[in-house]
Amino acid sequence: MLELLKKIVKAPAISGREGAVADVISALMEPICDEVYRDKLGNLIAVKHGSAPEGERKKIMFAAHMDEIGFFVTFIEDNGYIRLAPIGGINFVAAAYTNVIFANGVKGVLVPETGTKADALTFDKFYVDIGAKDKKEAERRVKIGDYFVIEPSVTRLCGKRVAGRPLDDRVGCAIMVETARRVPTPRDDVYYVFTAQEEVGCRGAKTAAFAIAPDVAIAYDVTGTGDTIGAKPMAVKVGGGAAIKLKDSSVICSTELVAALETAAREEKIAYQIEILPYGGTDTSSMQMAGSGCMAGCLSVPTRYIHSGVEMIDLGDVEACVALTAAYLVRA
């Protein structure tokens, strides 16, 4: 799982520019799926046809988003410093003084203007220093409209803990790839959808779900936890198992699906916890509300320090998500 995750985090892919990571995942899914294609919004869709007779198969859609938060280049200063616009919910405290990498491989550091106080860290106070001596040299490497991200990394910590970025939501993509490997002959038709533009409003999942019109949809994404110093009370913790979402700000998960996931977890003795997130949103709502609607839920990976360079997860929870999905597919 760690190797898979490392492979998938490496490709930089901000919202709307998911091609690089789609290439990586596509290569992983092609040998194990019946059909792999991309839609017009940039979603990557891998289909595994079910073994049940035609007409008796449900359409099950799984979704994890490929896109990550990042930055567009908006302007290059005369001295070669590069100004930016954020894509998605950047935490600028976490973004200060980090290594960044452009899609073309150019590296730089993301820094705030000298003297900026911590509570004034907004995107217009930031620039990227790629070490260019002037505008001309900078322009040879980077042009307006290029994008960059904080450098991807995956670091193994104690036990099964891993920190790095963008675990949001490449860990969800990894769960889906691993599930497809582990369930080679599902009974129902399974659509593994690696979605685009989640970080800017859960957009890709909406159009993909409209086109697929699934009976059941499950999103795989990270969720906040209550287990850090200063965290708001929340029952979810890293290492506590797969988090079965009941609600976040954008969705109330379908009760029958929540019950089915809980039953599967209990019967297979898979560690799980119940997630009630007082904020946030995921592809779940987009799928639930696409077209005339479908039954939708979400399995979350409890994650500390989301949207920073040191997002932290427990591989045990990731494994629990895979096992639970496989168990659900048998029972769906």
Partner 1 sequence: MELKQRITEMAGLMSISGHENYDRAALLDQLADIFDEVTTDPMGSHICIRRCGRQGAPKILIDAHFDEIGMMVTEILDGGFLRVINIGGIDTRILQAGEVIIYGEKPIYGIIGSTPPHLQKPGDAKKLKPINELLIDTGYDKDELEKLVRLGTPVGFVPAYTELLGGKLAGKGFDNKACGAAAVDALSRLDRAEMAGDVYLLLASQEEVGLRGGETGAAGIDPDYALVVDVTHGSAPDTKKDEAFPLGEGITISLSAATDLRLTRRTVELAREKGIKFTRVVEAANTGTDANVTQLVCCGIPTVVASLPLRSMHTYQEVLSPDDAEELGKLISAFVCDTKIAEDFAR
Q: Which residues are catalytic?
A: 198
Rounded CA separation 105/34 (Å): 33
CA-atom Rg of the chain in angstroms: 20
Instruction: Tell me the CA distances in angstroms from 247 to 49, 121, 243, one per residue in order.
Output: 30, 31, 11
Report if residue 288 touches partner 1, rule: CB under 8 A.
Answer: yes
Cβ proximity to partner 1, 39 vs 215, nearer residue:
215
Report if residue 293 touches partner 1, rule: CB under 8 A.
Answer: yes
Min dist. Cβ of residue 10 to partner 1 (A): 37
Report if residue 96 touches partner 1, rule: CB under 8 A.
Answer: no
Q: Is the dihedral of CA 325, 330, 331, 332 positive or negative?
A: positive
| Mask for 230-259, x = binds partner 1 (CB under 8 A) | ---xxx----------xx--x-xxxx--x-
Rounded CA separation 303/18 (Å): 22
What is the identity of the amino acid at 241? G
Cβ proximity to partner 1, 11 vs 289, nearer residue:
289
Min dist. Cβ of residue 240 to partner 1 (A): 12
Min dist. Cβ of residue 263 to partner 1 (A): 13
Rounded CA separation 324/110 (Å): 39
Q: Of residues 105-144, which lie at the interface with partner 1 (CB under 8 A)?
A: none
Q: Give Cβ neighbours of residue 64 (< 8 Å, ≥ 6 apart).
A: 169, 172, 173, 175, 176, 194, 195, 219, 220, 221, 283
Min dist. Cβ of residue 247 to partner 1 (A): 7
Piece in contact with partner 1 (CB under 8 A), picked from 98-106, 135-143, 283-291, 314-322: 283-291
Tokens of 44: 């990557």
Min dist. Cβ of residue 273 to partner 1 (A): 8
Contact 74, 84 (CB under 8 A): yes
Report if residue 300 touches partner 1, rule: CB under 8 A.
Answer: no
Cβ proximity to partner 1, 211 vs 234, nearer residue:
234
Considering only 201, 278, 330, 331, the residue that binds partner 1 (CB under 8 A) is 278
Report if residue 223 touches partner 1, rule: CB under 8 A.
Answer: no
Piece in contact with partner 1 (CB under 8 A), picked from 13-21, 25-33, 130-138, 284-292: 284-292
H, E, C per residue of 124-184: HHEEEECCCCCHHHHHHHCCCCCEEEECCEEEECCCCEEEEECHHHHHHHHHHHHHHHHCC
Piece in contact with partner 1 (CB under 8 A), picked from 16-24, 95-103, 282-290, 311-319: 282-290
Residues that bind partner 1 (CB under 8 A): 215, 233-235, 246-247, 250, 252-255, 258, 274, 276, 278, 285, 288-289, 291-296
